[in-house]
């Protein structure tokens, strides 16, 4: 199924694991939305693995979301919590002495939404990865009242990971609009057969398959969201 003609004013992108292409999918979504003439901006509320580039801590994924956004938002709204260490956010926040709270995230989201037709909010790691000692990603989704798009890293074991994540989303009462496959393992055997199984077994439509193209820009990847 192609990317739906009508989308909500904001959505949350989660994944079956870490390093499976949430940012690639999120930036591709932003370009696809912009091609429709929509103002689309990205957000990554919490990001670990950030460096001080002279203007404060900056995260590579959050910068990619900012670059794919039109209008271009302030970095502090794209990424309210930039954490230094490239480790689980809960641990990175503790090491930085940062207490991650919902209020700054909600405030930044509202500022972004005031300037855009659609806000694409990218989560951290896999769906059940904690944001902090006290917060799960579900708390952000509920606070911002967001439906979810699931990115499935296409590799051995992806069917199990995808079905477990879909089950958790449903059990939490979260609306999942669709899923995007991302070919992270070019050596994966029976890719088409695995995708066919996912199409059959997941209770939401496939919005497309992103090919394994290291270094490909988000605008090129966006074209693949129109494939079923």
Summarize pLDDT for 27-84 with one digit per residue, the tens. 999 999 999 999 999 999 999 999 998 889 999 999 999 999 999 999 999 999 999 9
Q: Which residues contact 183 (CB under 8 A, 6 or more apart)?
A: 154, 191, 209, 210, 211, 212
**pLDDT tens sequence across 69-91:** 999 999 999 999 999 999 999 99
pLDDT of res. 211: 87
Which band of pLDDT confidence, cut at 50, 70 and 90, is reported for residue 1? low
CATH number of 10-226: 3.40.50.300
Angle between helix 191-201 and 158-171 (nearest 10):
20
Q: Is the peptide bond before 32 cis (omega within 30 degrees of 0)?
A: no
Judge if pTM exceeds 0.85.
yes
Provide the pLDDT for residue 45. Answer: 98
Q: How far apart are CA 228 and CA 206, in angstroms?
A: 6
Q: What pLDDT does 37 receive?
A: 94
The helix/strand/coil state of 195 is helix
Give bridge partners of residue 152 from the DSSP assignment: 181
Helices (H), strands (E): how many in the chain?
9, 10
pLDDT > 70 in the chain, percent: 97
pLDDT (mean) for 135-158:
97
What are the tokens at 126?
């896999």
Q: With contact defined as beta carbons under 8 Å apart, do 6 and 191 qualify? A: no
Average pLDDT of the segment spanning 107-132: 97
199-220 per-position pLDDT tens digit = 999 999 999 998 877 776 777 7
Residue 49 CA to chain centroid, in angstroms? 16
Active-site annotation, residues: 44
Q: What pLDDT does residue 226 have?
A: 58
- Give the pLDDT confidence score for residue 125 in this predicted structure: 94
């Amino acid at each position: 199924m192609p990317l739906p003609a009508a989308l909500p004013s904001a959505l949350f992108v989660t994944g079956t694991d870490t390093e499976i292409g949430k940012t690639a999918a999120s930036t591709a979504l932003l370009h696809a939305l912009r091609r429709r003439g929509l103002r689309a901006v990205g957000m990554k509320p919490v990001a670990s693995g950030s460096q001080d580039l002279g203007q404060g801590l900056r995260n590579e994924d959050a910068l990619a979301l900012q670059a794919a956004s039109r209008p271009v938002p302030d970095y502090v709204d794209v990424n309210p919590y930039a954490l230094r260490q490239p480790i689980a956010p809960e641990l990175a926040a503790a090491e930085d002495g940062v207490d991650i709270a919902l209020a700054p995230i909600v405030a930044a989201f509202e500022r972004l939404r005031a300037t855009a037709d659609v806000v694409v909010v990218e989560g951290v790691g896999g769906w059940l990865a904690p944001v902090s000692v006290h917060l799960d990603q579900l708390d952000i989704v509920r606070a911002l009242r967001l439906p979810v798009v699931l990115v499935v890293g296409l590799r051995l074991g992806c069917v199990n990971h995808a079905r477990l994540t879909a089950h958790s989303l449903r059990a939490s009462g979260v609306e999942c609009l669709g899923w995007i496959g991302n070919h992270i393992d070019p050596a994966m055997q029976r890719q088409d057969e695995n995708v066919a199984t996912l199409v059959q077994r997941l209770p939401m439509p496939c919005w497309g398959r992103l090919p394994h193209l290291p270094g490909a820009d988000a605008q090129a990847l966006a074209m693949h969201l129109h494939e079923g």
